[in-house]
């Protein structure tokens, strides 16, 4: 090492490569290589630049000053890079999780120029690198797709699974490439290792694309190898088949047995995935759920107790992947869905979330300014401007907002249980509520300007649905309120007007729902036995008429939170909401939007339990003025809905 300063650039590059090739990561040597390379970086030729970055990445030795120097020199000499130089540089920065956007943009532009000359390995490595860093480069990914499809026979199993994984990770819609990858994978499936099998299943499930020949073939190829599956392979495979609604009893039995033998090795997210698969497929494996519950308490207690680190560029929520807030909430939701969230596990979850929340608050200035008077401002469903959001109620860690119709809540639900992107695909046009939160309230509370924490918004309402929505003012409140929703401990009451005469008897609607793109290109939830479990409770109904047509005023409670759940369940009964064109509901000009209103919301997010009533807004009250009740029960319900206050107390 004393002579390292005398090495030429080629000598430094070759030395780094030799040690990496042998897997020898000697820290003092690597530090000396890094400092000597930085001093000579202007003299490095193209290949000599790629070798050190590849070597340090192979040994997982992160040296940011060296990467910065390599990046700067690469930007100056990029026009001389060939396919190997481009892909190795991208791979190195991705492996070390070093997000250098100027370098990535330049690598993308240089790669596109020669993309048709790339081989299968180069294409898959480039896709993997950009997706690992979370960079959905719009020009590059379609170029990779166009170049990859004709070269599909050249792909090896690792390249096929990596490319599929990359598309899924970046939420890219590319059915031609997915079809080509599936066909090529089927031909080579016997050569796939356990990681290739589980990654491929995960990729297609994440995109909501079952590809009937591929998934059964993955199941058949996996069964003989289940004993060799690692914890992540087991949990990802179970999650994938559950997400796609594929009820493969032999595979699930094998995965369950393998899980039982090694639960102590599972991360929090791994436990969540297995429990969630049981819940989604209706597979009540009591011994497995009991074992998961017991293991959960031990695993949660073993989470790091020291200072929690926040990922660079991410939200204010700390914790590592697989063991952070998302994983903990996913576990609670999965166990709750199987009625297996015992008090001991729930208490452990609360303790973890409070610690995560406190750590996140520590990343920010704790001075809390009051909300501006205009945020309250007499608006709301009964105020001066019902078309504008407002703060209805403010509590220590939460506030409740009025969401008018026409406003969207399109934040990504990163802290719920895993869901395929198709469930997040329908946003509709409208004014984003999160923009109002950030602009009006964000200066007063850090979380309300934090996109990574959904601006504090805890749940969603559809664009045309009005009502109360919970928004956290602290990270602690956000996580504990999320827990209330994921653990199904909230009480959400809705009022709707639908076509036809709904039975007045109290009843349950439990048809599974699947959300996806329909033949007309629109996204809807449809009632399918292969869909996700969904539960809606009809509390009371009254029959009315308008323009010689029958309608029903219905009060409901939802126990799950599927996309368009109320709309889809009622449409499946033949009673679509009035004016809900997407689900076939018509109405006259007296009803100008889908008649659905979130009337009551109750939850306990760590402070005193809260119950919020949100009176029916003016446009829906005007619509009810155009209908006539049929009989005393309907008149009573109509008065109750229009009166709201005492009415909601008796909502069931």
| Residues 207/177, Cβ–Cβ less than 8 Å | no
Reply yes or no on whether the pLDDT at 420 is more than 60: no
Note whether 210 and 335 are same-domain residues. Answer: yes
Note whether 433 and 455 are same-domain residues. Answer: yes
| Residues 542/633, Cβ–Cβ less than 8 Å | yes
Q: How far is CA 381 from the centre of its chain?
A: 31
Q: Which residues contact 364 (CB under 8 A, 6 or more apart)?
A: 316, 446
Note whether 456 and 514 are same-domain residues. Answer: no
Domain presence at residue 344? yes
Given pLDDT bands bounded at 50, 70 and 90, which one contains residue 411?
low
CA triplet 17, 22, 26: central angle to 5 degrees? 80
| pLDDT for 321 | 66
Note whether 573 and 510 are same-domain residues. Answer: yes
Note whether 409 and 480 are same-domain residues. Answer: yes
Given pLDDT bands bounded at 50, 70 and 90, which one contains residue 1?
low
What tokens does 360 get?
Answer: 């996140």
Give the residue numbers spanning the domain of 503. 488-647
Reply yes or no on whether the pLDDT at 6 is more than 90: no
| Residues 124/199, Cβ–Cβ less than 8 Å | no
Reply yes or no on whether the pLDDT at 509 is more than 90: yes
| pLDDT for 422 | 40
List, for residues 211-226, the tens digit of each pLDDT value: 789 999 999 999 999 9
- Least confidently predicted of 8-12, 246-250, 272-276: 8-12
Residue for token pair 């999320």: 482
Reply yes or no on whether the pLDDT at 581 is more than 70: yes
Domain presence at residue 297? yes
Pairing of strands 491-499, 549-558: antiparallel
List, for residues 168-202, the tens digit of each pLDDT value: 999 888 989 999 999 999 999 999 999 999 999 99
Domain presence at residue 286? yes
Note whether 232 and 324 are same-domain residues. Answer: yes
Note whether 476 and 507 are same-domain residues. Answer: no
| pLDDT for 362 | 74
| pLDDT for 346 | 93
CA triplet 518, 520, 526: central angle to 5 degrees? 30
| Residues 563/484, Cβ–Cβ less than 8 Å | no
Q: Which residues contact 341 (CB under 8 A, 6 or more apart)?
A: 293, 332, 335, 487
| pLDDT for 424 | 42
Choose between 61 and 608: higher pLDDT.
61
**Number of domains forming the structure of the chain:** 3
Domain presence at residue 436? yes
Q: Catalytic residues, which ones? A: 462
Choose between 411 and 405: higher pLDDT.
405
Given pLDDT bands bounded at 50, 70 and 90, which one contains residue 396?
confident
Distance between CA 212 and CA 47 in Å, rounded?
44
Closest CA to 437 of 476, 463, 473: 473
CA distances (Å), 508 to each of 73, 371, 512, 550, 570, in order? Answer: 66, 41, 12, 22, 11
Reply yes or no on whether the pLDDT at 597 is more than 90: yes
Given pLDDT bands bounded at 50, 70 and 90, which one contains residue 568?
very high
Note whether 575 and 451 are same-domain residues. Answer: no
| pLDDT for 426 | 43
**SS3 label, residue 358:** helix
List, for residues 59-118, the tens digit of each pLDDT value: 898 889 999 999 999 999 998 999 999 999 999 999 999 999 999 999 999 999 999 999
| pLDDT for 36 | 87
Note whether 354 and 238 are same-domain residues. Answer: yes
Distance between CA 527 and CA 540 in Å, rounded?
22
List, for residues 251-262, the tens digit of each pLDDT value: 988 999 999 988
Given pLDDT bands bounded at 50, 70 and 90, which one contains residue 278?
confident
Closest CA to 545 of 451, 643, 631, 645: 631
Given pLDDT bands bounded at 50, 70 and 90, which one contains residue 614?
very high
| pLDDT for 108 | 96
CA distances (Å), 85 to each of 53, 252, 334, 392, in order? Answer: 10, 44, 45, 58
Mean pLDDT over residues 458-473, rounded? Answer: 93
| pLDDT for 384 | 59
Q: What is the largest CA-CA distance in the chain?
A: 98
Exposure of 153 in the CB half-sphere (CA atoms within 13 A): 1
644: left (phi over 0), alpha (psi -120 to 50) or beta: left
List, for residues 301-329, the tens digit of each pLDDT value: 888 765 555 544 455 576 666 788 999 99
Note whether 478 and 527 are same-domain residues. Answer: no
Distance between CA 81 and CA 245 in Å, rounded?
46
Closest CA to 258 of 247, 269, 270: 270
| pLDDT for 630 | 95
Reply yes or no on whether the pLDDT at 416 is more than 50: no
| pLDDT for 26 | 76
Distance between CA 390 and CA 407 in Å, rounded?
12
| pLDDT for 382 | 60
Q: What are phi and psi of 546, to 5 degrees?
A: -150, 125
Mean pLDDT over residues 352-380, rounded? Answer: 75
| pLDDT for 649 | 37
User: CB neighbours (10 Å) of residue 412?
Assistant: 12
**SS3 label, residue 600:** strand
3-class secondary structure for 270-320? HHHHHHHHHHHCCCCCHHHHHHHHHHHHHHHHCCCCCCCCCCCCCCCCCCC
Sign of CA dihedral 190, 196, 202, 204: negative
Domain presence at residue 640? yes
Domain presence at residue 573? yes
- Least confidently predicted of 91-105, 378-392, 538-552, 585-599: 378-392
Closest CA to 27 of 2, 56, 69: 56
Q: Which of 442, 463, 487 corresponds to the end of one domain?
A: 487
Distance between CA 513 and CA 511 in Å, rounded?
6
**SS3 label, residue 585:** coil
Q: How far is CA 554 from the centre of its chain?
A: 32
Given pLDDT bands bounded at 50, 70 and 90, which one contains residue 418?
very low
| pLDDT for 212 | 82
Q: What CATH number is attached to the domain comprising 449?
A: 3.30.2350.10
Mean pLDDT over residues 432-456, rounded? Answer: 91
Reply yes or no on whether the pLDDT at 129 is more than 60: yes
Domain presence at residue 13? no
Reply yes or no on whether the pLDDT at 368 is more than 80: no
**SS3 label, residue 619:** helix
List, for residues 471-507, the tens digit of each pLDDT value: 999 999 999 999 999 999 999 999 999 999 999 999 9
Note whether 239 and 273 are same-domain residues. Answer: yes
| pLDDT for 367 | 57
Percent over 90 (pLDDT), the chain: 58
- Mean pLDDT for all residues in the chain: 87
Domain presence at residue 112? no
| Residues 136/171, Cβ–Cβ less than 8 Å | yes
Note whether 441 and 540 are same-domain residues. Answer: no
Reply yes or no on whether the pLDDT at 40 is more than 90: no
DSSP string, 414-468: TTSS---GGGG----SSEEHHHHHHHHHTTT-GGGG-GGGGGGB-S---TT-EEE
What tokens does 602 get?
Answer: 């109750």
| pLDDT for 421 | 40
Mean pLDDT over residues 457-464, rounded? Answer: 92
């Amino acid at each position: 090492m004393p002579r390292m300063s005398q090495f030429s650039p080629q000598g430094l590059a070759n030395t780094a490569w030799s040690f990496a090739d042998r897997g020898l990561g000697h820290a003092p040597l690597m530090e000396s290589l890094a400092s000597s390379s930085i001093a000579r970086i202007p003299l490095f030729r193209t290949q000599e630049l790629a070798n050190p970055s590849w070597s340090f990445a192979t040994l997982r030795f992160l040296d940011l000053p060296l990467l910065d120097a390599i990046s700067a020199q690469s930007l100056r000499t990029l026009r001389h890079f060939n396919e190997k130089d481009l892909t190795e540089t991208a791979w190195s920065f991705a492996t070390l999780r070093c997000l250098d956007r100027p370098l990535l943009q330049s690598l993308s532009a240089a790669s596109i120029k020669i993309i048709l000359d790339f081989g299968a390995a180069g294409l898959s490595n480039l896709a993997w690198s950009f997706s690992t860093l979370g960079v959905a480069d719009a020009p590059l990914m379609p170029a990779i797709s166009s170049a990859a499809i004709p070269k599909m026979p050249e792909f090896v199993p690792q390249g096929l699974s990596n490319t599929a994984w990359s598309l899924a990770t970046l939420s890219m819609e590319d059915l031609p490439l997915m079809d080509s990858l599936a066909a090529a994978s089927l031909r080579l499936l016997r050569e796939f290792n356990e990681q290739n099998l589980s990654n491929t299943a995960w990729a297609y499930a994440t995109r909501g694309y079952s590809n009937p020949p591929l998934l059964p073939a993955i199941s058949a190829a996996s069964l003989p190898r289940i004993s060799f599956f690692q914890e992540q392979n087991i949990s990802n495979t179970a999650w994938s088949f559950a997400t796609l609604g594929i009820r493969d009893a032999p595979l699930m039995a094998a995965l369950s047995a393998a899980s039982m033998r090694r639960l102590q090795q599972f991360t929090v997210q791994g436990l969540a995935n297995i429990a969630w698969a049981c819940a989604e497929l209706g597979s009540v494996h009591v011994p497995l759920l009991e074992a998961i519950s017991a293991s959960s308490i031990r695993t949660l207690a073993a989470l790091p107790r020291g200072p929690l680190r926040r990922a660079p560029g991410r939200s204010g929520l700390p914790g590592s992947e697989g063991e952070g807030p998302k994983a903990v909430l996913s576990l609670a939701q999965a166990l709750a869905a199987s009625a297996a969230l015992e008090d001991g596990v729930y208490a452990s979850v609360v303790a973890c979330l409070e610690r995560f929340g406190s750590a996140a608050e520590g990343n920010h200035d704790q001075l809390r300014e009051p909300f501006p008077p205009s945020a309250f401002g007499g608006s709301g469903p009964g105020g001066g401007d019902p078309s504008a959001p407002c703060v209805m109620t403010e509590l220590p860690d939460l506030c409740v907002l009025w969401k008018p119709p026409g406003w969207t809540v399109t934040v990504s639900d990163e802290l719920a249980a895993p869901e395929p992107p198709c469930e997040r695909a329908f946003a509709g046009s409208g004014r984003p509520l999160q923009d109002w939160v950030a602009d009006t309230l964000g200066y007063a509370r850090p979380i309300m300007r934090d996109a990574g924490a959904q601006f504090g918004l805890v749940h969603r309402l559809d664009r045309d649905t009005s009502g109360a929505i919970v928004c956290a003012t602290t990270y602690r409140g956000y996580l504990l309120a999320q827990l209330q929703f994921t653990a199904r401990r909230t009480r959400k009451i809705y009022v709707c007007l639908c076509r036809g005469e709904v039975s007045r008897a109290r009843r349950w609607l439990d048809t599974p729902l699947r959300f996806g793109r329909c033949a007309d290109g629109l996204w809807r939830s449809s009632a399918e036995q292969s869909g996700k479990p969904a539960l809606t409770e009809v509390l009371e109904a009254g029959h009315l008429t308008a323009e010689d047509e029958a309608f029903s005023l219905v009060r409901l409670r939802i126990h799950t939170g599927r996309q368009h759940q109320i709309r889809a369940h009622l449409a499946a009964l033949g009673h679509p909401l009035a004016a809900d064109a997407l689900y076939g509901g018509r109405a006259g000009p007296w009803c100008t939007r889908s008649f659905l209103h979130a009337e009551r919301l109750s939850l306990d997010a760590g402070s005193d339990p809260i119950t919020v009533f949100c009176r029916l807004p003016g446009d829906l009250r005007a619509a009810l003025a155009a209908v006539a009740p049929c009989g005393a029960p309907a008149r009573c319900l109509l008065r109750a809905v229009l009166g709201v206050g005492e009415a909601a107390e008796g909502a069931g």
